Structure 1
Amino acid sequence: MQASVSPMPDDVEALKAALAAARIEVAEAKAEAAMVRAERSDDQALIAHLKLQIEKLKHQLFGSKSESSRRLLDQLELQLEELEATASQDEAVAEIAARKLADAPGFKRRRPSRQPFPEHLPRERRVIAAPCACPACGGTRLSRIGEDVTETLEVIPRQWKVIQTVREKVACRDCEKISQPPAPFHVVAHGWAGPGLLAMMLFEKYGQHQPLNRQVERYGREGVPLSLSTLADQVGAAAAVLEPLHHRLAAHVMAAERLHGDDTTVPVLARGKTATGRIWTYVRDDRPFGGPAPPAALFYYSPNRAGEHPRQHLADWSGILQADAYGGYARLYDAGRHPGPITEAGCWSHARRAFFVLADIEASARRKADGKKPAPISPLALDIVQRMDRLFEVERSINGQSSPERLTIRRELSAPLVDELEALMHKHRPGLSRHDDLAKAMDYMLKRWPAFTQFLQDGRVCLTNNAAERALRGIALGRKSWLFAGSDRGGQRAAFMYSLIATAKLNDVDPQAWLADVLARIADHPSRQLDDLLPWNWVAQHQIRKTA
């Protein structure tokens, strides 16, 4: 039995009304879902806050001052940090969804009352003058009846201050109406942190790998006591504010014809253990072949290294992917893939490392000097490394030239070297055991030879995947500082911020200065001009404003 379906009206006005009603229903459903998610995140943050308080009390009353006890508190603080940031981000998303509906109630988190800013901090009064004429009736007989003061905590390098924005309030003697300038914009609704302070917190956490609990300690030593949950609250809300800019950045990266791809591990704090997540990066860098598009990096987080993740990341993209031989990329190279096949381009740096280990004369000499047995040097591996080095010399000479120029020089100088190298490996491979390290290094290349020779077919292809490895270098260094990502949501937020910060660095932009200016302007910036805030467009405009 088929379900009955209401017939669609034929009248155009009726169709428009039905479409408008459907849009309202969708908006209501989204607002309700955002509200539920925000409430759940708020509950989780509250539970984590109470757990941390209990463990701190236990530590004070009964606990020893051992390193393991301190590490437990550090892990709980990190978990609270991520949950607080997640709750604030979900709250901001719920408020954005509620604003689209006239009668939808906004969600407000249950926050502990904030302590007033320390009295010793200097105050800077910025007065927004009252209007000279009544906005309601145009009368000029105005009398001052008071003022409202909004305090914003702002930071100057190595100097703290509280900015007092004074809004004068006046009453009209003609019409008895009270008028007052609007309240100043805050990045976070009902927030207290200025854009400079927010940018510093974000950059130190994700760019300098300083967790918020360490930032709290440093701020306290500087005479500004702030709680961990207070800072985490601001981080999560700022991430929600920057989300439209991240969408524009992702669109720019995925518009590339060639991408560098790679991934690295990241420890994630899980229940009773430490799980291993992955951070993936896709880098657009057209500078080696003289492309005009600015460089940018896009990061994603996943709880594991399953092949479904890169397939999801690149679901709507086709082009040339420079990556290692990770098997999860294999289905991306299928000829019948939609929207089109992805061309694989191998990384000669990955291939060279395996041969270099067998031909590292300096490492063998160091072992001998330390009284250890020197590692044997393979003459064949040394010969292969030297041949590869000649390929790299050619690449350095053509870096920055146009794609056709690069391709012409490669076919003249690099193609003979590649043919000789292939013949050399085919000649010696049959005489090696399959368990030999040199044989494994040869098989890695020979089984993927079309991918390794792709640079001879397309001048846009680079010889290496070093652009992606450089983008991930900061994460590898940061692991030693922050130890864990507090949760999967924390890993996603970290990837979000890495995308913004790494892209700023690729364009030689100070990430903290850029974030501070963007956070100060993004609220009243026209959405159709959002690209103006991207790092490569921001530099010129910022210089013009500074000059003015």
Structure 2
Amino acid sequence: MSQPFDLSLFPGLPPEVVQAVSELQFELSVERAARQHEQSVVAEKDAFITELKKLIEKLEGQVQEYRRAKFGPKSEKLDPAQLELALEDLETAIAETQAQIAAVEEKIAASAADPERATPRKERKTRALPQSLPRVERVIEPDSIACPCGCGDMVRIGEDRTERLDFIPARYQVIVTVRPKYACPKGRAGVVQAKAPAHLLEGSWPTEALLAQIAVSKHSEHMPLNRQAVVMARLGVPIDRSVLADWMGRTGALIAPVVDHMATILKQGSTRLYVDETTAPVLDPGRGKTKTGYLWAVLRDDRGWGGSAPPGVVFHYRAGRKGEYAAEILDGFNGTIQVDAYGAYTHLATPKRTGGKPLRLAFCWAHGRRKLIKAKPKKGSPIVDEALLRIAALYKVEGAIRGSAPDHRRAVRQSLSRPLVDEFFTWLTAQAARVSRKSELGEAMAYMLRRQDGFRLFLGDGHVDIDSNLVENAIRSPAMNRRNALFAGHDEGGRNWARFASLIGTCKMNGVEPYAYLRDLFTKLANGHLAKDIDALMPWAYAQKVIASE
């Protein structure tokens, strides 16, 4: 019955018939309303499910894109800093989509015919916060603990605890040093007064702690001074950027002897160093634009073969990328340098080298691998795929012997890696004959074939690594600083960058917190420690002191 039955059309019906028809009409209307409600609920749920499917499909695409960016071959073509930014945005997008999916799932559960039977959403697992952080307990009591039965107050039987991470904004303060003067009341003696404490920058406002904070913010957290000035003004300290620059320039000059001494230690106490260079744009006022300077990184890290010397890196600013700069920086060093195949290093391996004996050049397999990947055509290349598999076999051997003694590393390489390398270059020679030398792939293969001696050098020396990735990792931080600050304002500014990058980079390699080290260093420099024991000012010496105090 689709329409209500009109009883007025049938006068004279018995009351019991009228009653029965009315009850039937009511039941039918209730049934119709229930059916309509059920249909609307189903339609709403179908809409939610359709939306959920779209979101899941979107999430799967984002996760695929994330994996491709992080683990796929395309990551070889991204600058490491650019890759970090890309991953950050992808992770943010994934989290947003997951939140949207959770909201839709909650709507589906709420629209269920029997909400009580709906499966409750699992609570998200939270990571434990570091125990070293201070904790402030906030106890929230009920409005009343009086028992409803009238027996008195309820007793405590347990508690629930949750932890959330809070932030207290930075607070600047002024330290007022008061030095009372004392004199004989009868005027029979001179005046007595405590000696003024030493300051790193005499006649200036900043404490050593503030100077350390500014340096770390710029050179480790990549916040240029103009942005720091904005933050300081927001927190109630309006100090002009030029003042901050003056502080950093004067401080950079004071740390120069420490960095120079560290450079000497790395060269004199090593037989193997990593060397690489990265651009450092510098403003050229005469032309109204920037010129290209370079930060040359010299790194020591003997942990790969179990060496006991502490790791360190020193950056040298130079106005160009010529071989004469490499010769000047490495003057007095004798041994092996792990480098890419840039031509500036070639003359260092000849008898004509000044400043020491001819150096041995160990070339980087990671560079050769990247050139092959870059040369791979869009349609693919069986040659490149095969080359990558052969190189991967070498890296598998290296992974097994990392940290072992030099003799053991050399023995394993002679047994396992040498046959692989021999086969690789025999195979690569045959493939190169089939490919045009002028093609990108032909040039990539020729790059490795012409430099076989340098690529083979790691096989006969357990102190040498298969690549120079360690120094490439070290230059990421200055590269990020360059990306944020765009350029240095002067050649001296480039040298300032290099000094702070050297100390902060070495801190990170030795597991030292850069701010704590710089604050300690500036305090010691203010108190004349440089003339007493410069070796104690090295970042690794500070690391040993921290370990001893724990």
TM-score where L is the length of structure 2: 0.66
The sequence identity of aligned pairs, in percent, is 39
Give the 5 Å matches for 1:118-157.
Answer: none
Q: 252, 260, 263: which one pairs with 1:239?
A: 252
Q: Deviations over 1:295-349 (max 9, x none)?
A: 1001011222222111111122121011111111111111343421110101000
1:159 is displaced (CA, Å) by 1.5
Give the Cα separation in 1 of the matches to 2:353 and 2:294: 25
Give the Cα separation in 2 of the matches to 1:404 and 1:544: 32
Residue 266 of structure 2 is aligned to residue 263 of structure 1: no
For 2:195, the equivalent position in structure 1 comes to 182
Q: Deviations over 1:360-417 (max 9, x none)?
A: xxxxxxxxxxxxxx81211011111100000001101111111101001111110110
Q: 177, 180, 188: which one pairs with 1:165?
A: 177
Q: 306, 310, 325: which one pairs with 1:290?
A: 306
Q: Deviations over 1:146-170 (max 9, x none)?
A: xxxxxxxxxx971211111111100
Which residue identity does 1:210 align to in structure 2? M
Give the Cα separation in 2 of the matches to 1:526 and 1:254: 21
Q: 348, 359, 383: which one pairs with 1:380?
A: 383
- Structure 2: where are the runs of 5+ without partners? 1-167
Give the Cα separation in 2 of the matches to 1:445 and 1:543: 44
Q: Does the aligned pair in 2 maintain the 1:358–1:378 contact within 8 Å?
A: no
Matched residue SS, 2:361: strand
Q: Deviations over 1:89-146 (max 9, x none)?
A: xxxxxxxxxxxxxxxxxxxxxxxxxxxxxxxxxxxxxxxxxxxxxxxxxxxxxxxxxx
Residue 220 of structure 2 is aligned to residue 217 of structure 1: no
Residue 429 of structure 2 is aligned to residue 414 of structure 1: no
Structure 1 stretch 233-242 or stretch 195-204: which is displaced more? 233-242
1:358 is displaced (CA, Å) by 4.6
Residue 451 of structure 2 is aligned to residue 437 of structure 1: no
Q: 279, 297, 303: which one pairs with 1:281?
A: 297
1:505 is displaced (CA, Å) by 0.7
User: Residues 421 and 544 from structure 1, CA distance in 2 versus in 1: closer, same or farther, beyond 3 angstroms?
Assistant: closer
Q: 331, 348, 359: which one pairs with 1:332?
A: 348
Give the Cα separation in 2 of the matches to 1:314 and 1:402: 26
Q: 303, 324, 342: which one pairs with 1:308?
A: 324
For 1:91, the equivalent position in structure 2 comes to none
Residue 359 of structure 2 is aligned to residue 342 of structure 1: yes
Q: Does the aligned pair in 2 maintain the 1:290–1:400 contact within 8 Å?
A: yes
1:437 is displaced (CA, Å) by 2.1
Give the Cα separation in 2 of the matches to 1:232 and 1:404: 50
1:541 is displaced (CA, Å) by 1.9
Matched residue SS, 1:166: coil
Give the Cα separation in 1 of the matches to 2:296 and 2:530: 31
For 2:491, the equivalent position in structure 1 comes to 488
Give the Cα separation in 2 of the matches to 1:542 and 1:467: 25
User: Residues 163 and 544 from structure 1, CA distance in 2 versus in 1: closer, same or farther, beyond 3 angstroms?
Assistant: farther
1:519 is displaced (CA, Å) by 0.8
Give the Cα separation in 1 of the matches to 2:216 and 2:519: 10
Give the 5 Å matches for 1:468-507.
Answer: 468-507=471-510
For 1:75, the equivalent position in structure 2 comes to none
Give the Cα separation in 1 of the matches to 2:457 and 2:532: 39
Find runs of 4+ consecutive structure 1 residues off by over 6 angstroms.
none
User: Residues 228 and 526 from structure 1, CA distance in 2 versus in 1: closer, same or farther, beyond 3 angstroms?
Assistant: closer
Q: Does the aligned pair in 1 maintain the 2:301–2:312 contact within 8 Å?
A: yes
Matched residue SS, 1:163: coil
Q: Does the aligned pair in 2 maintain the 1:355–1:382 contact within 8 Å?
A: no
Q: Deviations over 1:157-205 (max 9, x none)?
A: 7121111111110012463311211111111122221111000111112
Which residue identity does 2:252 align to in structure 1? A
Q: 248, 252, 262: which one pairs with 1:249?
A: 262
Greater radius of gyration (CA): 2
Q: Give the alignment's Cα RMSD to 1 decimal.
A: 1.7
For 1:527, the equivalent position in structure 2 comes to 531
Q: Does the aligned pair in 1 maintain the 2:280–2:293 contact within 8 Å?
A: yes
Q: Deviations over 1:60-85 (max 9, x none)?
A: xxxxxxxxxxxxxxxxxxxxxxxxxx
1:539 is displaced (CA, Å) by 2.2
Give the Cα separation in 2 of the matches to 1:336 and 1:269: 35
Greater percentage in strand? 1
Give the Cα separation in 2 of the matches to 1:162 and 1:477: 33
- Structure 1: where are the runs of 5+ without partners? 1-155, 360-373
Which residue identity does 1:207 align to in structure 2? S
Give the Cα separation in 1 of the matches to 2:330 and 2:346: 13
TM-score where L is the length of structure 1: 0.66
Give the Cα separation in 1 of the matches to 2:508 and 2:195: 36
Matched residue SS, 2:519: helix
Which residue identity does 1:408 align to in structure 2? A
1:438 is displaced (CA, Å) by 2.1
Matched residue SS, 2:465: coil
Give the Cα separation in 1 of the matches to 2:259 and 2:409: 33
Q: Does the aligned pair in 2 maintain the 1:358–1:382 contact within 8 Å?
A: no
Matched residue SS, 2:198: coil
Residue 212 of structure 2 is aligned to residue 199 of structure 1: yes
Which residue identity does 2:239 align to in structure 1? L
Give the Cα separation in 2 of the matches to 1:336 and 1:274: 34
Which residue identity does 2:369 align to in structure 1? R
1:223 is displaced (CA, Å) by 0.6
Give the 5 Å matches for 1:41-80.
Answer: none
